[in-house]
Amino acid sequence: MTCSHAFCTIIPPFVLDKMARSSRPEVAENAREAQEISDAVRIERGARAVARGATGEGTAAERKVYDSEQTRRQRVTRARFEDDPERADVDVNVVFEHAGTVRAYLTEALERDSIDAAGMDLVLNVHYGKKYSNAFWDGDEMTFGDGDGEIFTSFARSLDVTAHEIFHGVTQYLNGLVYRSQPGALNEHFSDVFGSVITQVANGQTAHDADWLIGNEIMGPDLPGEALRSMKAPGTAYDNDIMGADPQPAHMGDYYDGNEDNQGVHINSGIPNRAFYLVATDIGADAAARIWYAAFQGLDSRADFDAAALALADAAGTLTREGRAPVGSTQSVRAAFREVGVLG
Ligand SMILES: [Zn+2]
């Protein structure tokens, strides 16, 4: 099972739905265009899933940044490849650097050779579409829009967005968590965990002084201070006329069991997100990230929150015995999941 029919965007569909109904015509039009692109890419993606192999070309993962030149096509012109010098285009250089940061984290912290653990190249497309308000992983590469400049700024300039999307690729090869319901929320959660942790490492922050926000860097001048998600306080990331209000629960008591958003993949991820925050602030983000990566390696593609919590407690025990997580990690994991209503 792979993520091949999972088209993983950073802006959840319910935010675009809300924006598409905006009284501001340009906002509504921009959101409708992003929705239309989501539908078109999903269909196209299905058709070429078999045609283009997604495995690595050697063991040394190279960065390949392409410029879509405002078209809806990928790999249009070579913008910056691994050994190319810096370019004039800020988006190209920033996404190139961020992809390098994520690659280094995979190698050094997780001892994983790129997305597929076999040196897969990191292909990144910038300037996709006209003012396209989204970024996505489509099964084999990352693609970023420029945003409209008012609600959202360039998606290519945010490290947590880039790390989040690259980790959808990691999940695809690691356990293939199905992009629906609880396994889908765990898939989203895993991307948020590493989007956040890699940003903390890059900024030299600890779990205590990190902001724990996802997508705050892509908010434009119309939405100062807002974010897409808060791992620390799910449900508080945004509340405004343009996006609506953040629907994320922080506890199983508020679990969303509707059909929207692939049965709440970007909604119920708030529950394990909060658990990760609790563990990271207790034992440190580095140890927490090691535990999460180890546990998720063994997850079934249809794992639910209970299965993930049990696997995390097991992994915490193993890593504690190996001296790679502090004593008390198992109890910390268990306490965190009890606090969000998953265990016990
Ligand atoms: Zn995602």
pLDDT at 49 over 80: no
CA–CA dist 192, 212 (Å, integer): 9
Q: What is the pLDDT of residues 282-337, one digit of tens each?
A: 999 999 999 999 999 999 999 999 999 999 999 999 999 999 999 999 999 999 99
> Which amino acid is it at 37?
I
> What confidence score (pLDDT) does residue 175 get?
96
Nearest to 96 by CA among 108, 110, 86: 86
264 Rama class: left (phi>0) / alpha (psi -120 to 50) / beta: left
Distances (CA, A) of 204 to 197, 208, 285: 10, 12, 12
Cβ proximity of 291 and 333 under 8 Å? yes
Q: What is the pLDDT of residues 129-144, one digit of tens each?
A: 999 999 999 999 999 9
The SS3 assignment for 287 reads helix
Ligand 1 center–CA 186 separation, angstroms: 10
What count of other Cβ atoms lies within 10 Å of the Cβ of residue 88? Answer: 6
Q: State mean pLDDT over 151-176.
A: 97
Q: What is the pLDDT of residues 166-176, one digit of tens each?
A: 999 999 999 99
Ligand 1 center–CA 159 separation, angstroms: 14
Q: What is the pLDDT of residues 29-47, one digit of tens each?
A: 999 999 888 778 776 765 5
CA 284 to chain centre: 21
Ligand 1 center–CA 164 separation, angstroms: 6
Ligand 1 center–CA 188 separation, angstroms: 5
CA–CA dist 224, 286 (Å, integer): 30
Catalytic residue among 165, 168, 189, 226: 165
CA–CA dist 142, 179 (Å, integer): 17
> What confidence score (pLDDT) does residue 38 get?
79
Q: Between β-strands 77-81 and 135-137, what pairing exists: parallel, antiparallel or unpaired? A: unpaired
Q: Between β-strands 122-126 and 142-144, what pairing exists: parallel, antiparallel or unpaired? A: parallel
CA–CA dist 30, 16 (Å, integer): 9
> What confidence score (pLDDT) does residue 46 get?
56
- At residue 7 the predicted structure's pLDDT band, cuts being 50, 70 and 90, is confident
Ligand 1 center–CA 191 separation, angstroms: 6
Give the containing element (helix H, strand E) for 32. Answer: helix 25-48
Out of 19-23, 180-184, 222-226, which region has the weakest mean confidence (pLDDT)? 19-23
Nearest to 275 by CA among 224, 212, 200, 211: 212
Q: State mean pLDDT over 200-228.
A: 97
Q: State mean pLDDT over 113-121.
A: 95
- At residue 277 the predicted structure's pLDDT band, cuts being 50, 70 and 90, is very high
Q: State mean pLDDT over 118-130.
A: 97
Q: Is 165 a residue of the active site?
A: yes
- At residue 5 the predicted structure's pLDDT band, cuts being 50, 70 and 90, is low
pLDDT over 90 percentage in the chain = 89
Domains along the chain with CATH numbers: 8-174 (3.10.170.10), 181-339 (1.10.390.10)
pLDDT at 59 over 90: no
Number of residues in the chain? 344
Q: What is the pLDDT of residues 14-32, one digit of tens each?
A: 999 999 999 999 999 999 9
Give the containing element (helix H, strand E) for 104. Answer: helix 90-108
Q: Is 141 a residue of the active site?
A: no
> Which amino acid is it at 294?
A
Which residues, other chains included, contact 47 with Cβ-Cβ below 8 Å and sequence gap of 6+? none
